[in-house]
Amino acid sequence: MAAKKKQGPMDVIVALAKRRGFVMPTSEIYGGIGSSYDYGPLGIEMKRNISNLWWKEMVHKHDNIVGIDSAIIYHPKTWEASGHVDGFVDPLVDCKQCKTRFKADDLIEHVKNAKGVDEAPLNPAGDSLNADHPSYAQVPCPNCGNRGTLTPPRSFNLMFKTFMGPVEDSSNVVYLRPETAQGIYVDYPQVLNVSRVRPPFGIAQIGKAFRNEITPGNFIFRTREFEQMEMQYFIEPGKDLEAMEYWKEARMSFWRDTIGIKPENLRFHEHSSTELAHYAKSAFDIEYNFPMGWSEFEGIHNRTDFDLTRHQEYSGKDLRFFDDRTRERYIPYIVETSAGLNRGLLATLLDAYDEDEVDGQTRVVLRLDPKVAPITAAVFPLTKKDGLPEAALDIYKDLKRDFNIFYDETGNIGRRYRRQDEAGTPFCFTVDYQTLDDGTVTIRDRDTLEQAERLKPEDLAGILFNKLRS
């Protein structure tokens, strides 16, 4: 018999996510659609926990940050001002023979290493393809191997386009937003009018963004529809470096200390001058050690006064801030923190996954922080008889008023614990025969497996509340 192939952690997480209803392929009865995913009963709880913790951290814990929830479809001029209509493009190369489509950037390594090519057809900086170079025609297609079949790179805009209203003509073209940030910039004057904020202050929002990605993949790492958690911090010019330092540390600490990702799996990546986006003066990614390698899941960007200057120009509205103390007007600088909720959730799931040996059997356990775990506690009666379910249901109903609690009375107790371990549930309360005598229940800890302590039902809510504080 062939040796069993050891699955990589991504395969294991994809399988667990589907089996337990964290993340499932969308419209599966029709065979699914190009890397779109749905969040099931456990996944949505976890996703909401992460986004609620983010909101609490950014908006509620900072006196000078307010939230908004803007529309997904903005005035189309927004995207001209932001540079997305002209600049949000990926150059693509098609093979005329096998019809495979490649991102030009992904072909750079290929052309450097291709056999039978006189000289790599790259532009002088070495970071983009040069289709006018004589050896471009010698490059074999990475898929079918034919030479001379690759087209020159052609631009492809990543924004999803649609029409507003019944008439499908160019004057009605609108876009699904490819980032939530622009909604904040265009709302900035209204937020200034309705709240008492003044620089330094932030505006936060969580919402869907859409990008017609050419190469989606790695499960929910890169999809065409995803959620961002973004905060734009408006500051006086010159205060940007200080703000960058503050937000770099604050955002790293959020993922490490609040969400509980292991520090050794997190790092910063500073953008080099060739990586920097057109609007950015400096940029740091927070990267996670994903199975496919270190990759970004949040960016902290010094966007200078680029965005508001452009919106001022395109809208014709004065977007300067009037400082009544100095009597001066200026366009605020912006430091942005832009996190992907889905990528953050994927990193958290991968990081929490563990297997250990319990009673001679492999136990799958998600060591999620209680604040992130989809179910905070499970309540079990030891058996289905002798009034134990009734006593357990009383506890369950009481705790359910404040927490997400799961009740289960079916099957053997060991199996019930294992199912909760796999869902990441940090605590199980079990009602047994002693409960009928003195009212106390056991508490089982998912990670230590200790179960010696007995607690009074009236203390349970307080214990859980303390575990969920951040």
Q: How far is the CB of 343 from ligand ATP (least distance, A)?
A: 4
CA 433 → CA 108, 237, 337, 437, 438, distances in Å? 68, 68, 53, 7, 9
How far apart, in whole angstroms, are the C-alpha atoms of residue 172 and residue 226? Answer: 25
Least separation in angstroms between CB 215 and ligand ATP: 10
Nearest approach in angstroms of CB 342 to ligand ATP is 5
Amino acid letter, 52: N
Query: Shortest approach of ligand ATP to residue 252 CB, angstroms?
Result: 14
Nearest to 337 by CA among 59, 27, 46: 59
Pairing of strands 173-175, 201-210: unpaired
DSSP result, 203-259:
EEEEEEEE---SS-BTTTTB-SEEEEEEEEEEE-TT-HHHHHHHHHHHHHHIIIIIS
Of the candidates 409, 367, 365, the residue with the CA atom closest to the CA atom of residue 390: 409
Minimum Å distance from CB 312 to ligand ATP? Answer: 23
Residue with CB nearest ligand ATP? Answer: 340
- DSSP class per residue in 251-301: HHHIIIIIS---GGGEEEEEPPTTTS-TT-SEEEEEEEEETTEEEEEEEEE
C-beta of 232 vs 338, nearer to ligand ATP: 338
Here the tokens at position 377 are 């506690």
Burial 279-295 (b: 16+ CB within 10 A, else e): bbebbbbbbbbbeeeeb
Whose Cβ is closer to ligand ATP: residue 229's or residue 235's?
229
Q: SS3 for 155?
A: strand
Take residue 205 and report the two structure tokens written for it: 């929002």
Site residues for ligand ATP per CB under 6 A: 179, 211, 213, 222-223, 226, 228, 296-299, 338-340, 342-343
CB nearer ligand ATP, residue 37 or residue 136:
37
Nearer to ligand ATP, 72 or 393 (CB): 72
DSSP state of 316: -
Query: In terms of CB distance, is 251 or 444 closer to ligand ATP?
Result: 251
User: In the complex with ligand ATP, which residue's Cβ is closer, 296 or 305?
Assistant: 296
Q: How far is the CB of 279 from ligand ATP (least distance, A)?
A: 11
> Is the CB of 226 or the CB of 333 nearer to ligand ATP?
226
Closest approach of ligand ATP to the CB of residue 346, in Å: 9
